[in-house]
Amino acid sequence: MPLKELQPIFIFLAVVLLLLSASCSRRTVPADAVHGKSGRSAGGVLIKTSEFTLIIPDVSLSQSETKQLEQFINAGIGLSVASNKATPEDIIRTARGYLGVPHCMGGTTAKCMDCSGLIFRIFARHGITLPHNSEEQARYGRIITEKKMLMPGDLVFFVRTYSSSRLITHSGIFIGEDRFIHTSSGKGVTITPLNDPYWKERYLFGTRIFE
């Protein structure tokens, strides 16, 4: 067969090989998500600073996510709020008053609110100003590295609850007995067990505003 007549066959084979190569590439696991390179220790994700060691036993973070968490911590945590007479009991009592309020992204009112909006509104009612953003809220208060050390009134933070460039995407208020109050996209302001499978594998740490 003349070479000229073979050219369409060569082109067809080249296209097939290219498609097969692309298909394999799509199935390849990203390098920073390969098991053993995710920033995990035997006890979970491990972050060490001069002030504390943070072990996150139930969350699997990639190398890039672990670096993002380190950058977040290095950028500043443990910020204090203006002192006042509010107590953890006051915060929880106010939070319960919003149970059933529907969710809306960006909301901070009794008509609808998102997770950080709930915290923003509750603390504002007691004269405490916090940002309306879960990741920025996590900069306030002393970080609580172990879930068993949480106390009522502590804030709790979670990762990957929706697609975002930020690592910390959800916040709530611990109310004791392994439960927290927060705004769920499906249920609005509600109370949920911390050990609920969905939240357990996304829980990062808590912070204590009231000392």
Q: What is the pLDDT of residues 168-206, one digit of tens each?
A: 999 999 999 999 999 999 999 999 999 999 999 999 999
pLDDT tens column, 109-126: 999 999 999 999 999 999
> Are both 118 and 192 inside the same structural domain?
yes
pLDDT score for 116: 98
pLDDT of 2? 55
One domain for residues 83 and 10: no
Looking at the structure, tell me whether residues 10 and 89 fall in a common domain: no
Residue 193 is predicted with a pLDDT of 98
What residues contact 139, with CB distance under 8 A and at least 6 apart? 75, 76, 77, 78, 79
For residues 85 and 170, membership in a common domain is answered with yes
Whether pLDDT at 41 is above 50: no
Residue 41 forms part of a structural domain: no
* 192 in a structural domain: yes
**Average pLDDT of 32-48?**
48
Whether 98 and 11 map to the same domain: the answer is no
Q: Are residues 191 and 120 in the same domain?
A: yes
> What confidence score (pLDDT) does residue 47 get?
82
Q: Phi and psi dihedrals of 25, rounded to 5? A: -60, -40
Give the Cβ contact number of residue 82 at 10 Å: 7
What confidence tens digit (pLDDT) does each residue in 157-167 have?
Answer: 999 999 889 99
Angle at 151 between CA 106 and CA 130, to 5 degrees: 30
Could you tell me the CATH number of the domain that includes residue 162? 3.90.1720.10
Do residues 160 and 88 share a domain? yes
Catalytic residue set: 115, 170, 182
Q: Is the pLDDT of residue 26 over 90?
A: no
Q: Give the count of domains, the chain.
A: 2
Task: Give me 73's structure tokens.
Answer: 């911590």
Model-level pTM? 0.78
Per the prediction, the chain carries an average pLDDT of: 82
11 and 102 housed in the same domain: no
Does residue 92 form part of some domain?
A: yes
In a domain, 25, yes or no: yes
- Strongest mean pLDDT among 16-20, 28-32, 87-91, 159-163: 87-91
Helix/strand/coil for 163: coil
Residue-wise pLDDT for 4-20, tens only, equals 554 554 444 443 333 33
Query: 18 and 100: one domain?
Result: no
Instruction: Clarify whether residues 15 and 86 are in a common domain.
Output: no
Inside any domain, residue 152: yes
**61: in domain:** no
Q: Quick check: 119 and 171 in contact, CB under 8 A? A: yes
Confirm whether 45 is domain-assigned.
no
Same domain, 104 and 14: no
Residue 130 lies in a domain: yes
Domain residue limits at 24: 3-31
pLDDT in the model for residue 113: 98
- 110 plus 199 within the same structural domain: yes
